[in-house]
Amino acid sequence: MKCSLLLIVFFLWVAVASAGGVHGKVSNAQGAAIAGARVTIATIARRGPRSQEGRQETTGPDGTYSITGLEPGTYTVTVTLPANQGSHRRPVRIQSESTSVQLDFQFPTGRAQPGSAADGNRP
């Protein structure tokens, strides 16, 4: 019984560890990080965009995000700035379960989060 449980845990760990992902940074035109942006990823069906799976992440203080556990396929990544200051949408293809794609977004507007290293002021 104990051996069976260990095998199940191992195979679940391998499945999660080998899944694909998307990561990147959200910044403004000056390169300052934008914290608190909403990053949404959804699969694209073969006959046009149709959300089959939606996952959401929020950028951290350094403007980075990471969404893992994605199966191979084509996805749409949408980034929406805090207070709905704007959004961008881009397609991304995960070729295999071990693929990790970097997808950065740069907005012409958008302010760095107050107190972040990017705005030049420390709390």
pLDDT tens per residue, range 83-116: 878 889 999 998 887 889 999 999 986 554 443 3
Q: Residues 23, 67: contact at Cβ < 8 Å?
A: yes
Give the strand pairing for 73-80 and 87-94. antiparallel
**CA 41 from centre of chain:** 7
Q: Is the pLDDT of residue 33 over 60?
A: yes
Q: Which amino acid is at 104?
A: D
22 or 84: which leads in pLDDT: 22
Record the pTM: 0.69
Task: Please name each of the domains of the chain with its CATH number.
Answer: 2-119 (2.60.40.10)
What is the average per-residue pLDDT within 3-24? 60
Q: What are the strands, taking DSSP E only, across the chain?
A: 20-28, 38-43, 54-58, 64-70, 73-80, 87-94, 100-102, 105-107
In this prediction, residue 65 has a pLDDT band, given cuts at 50, 70 and 90, of: very high
Please determine, for residue 42, whether its predicted confidence score (pLDDT) is greater than 80.
yes
- Residue 23's φ and ψ, nearest 5 degrees, are -145, 160
Tokens 């909403």, residue located: 38
Averaged pLDDT of the chain: 76
Mean pLDDT, range 18-43, rounded to an integer: 91
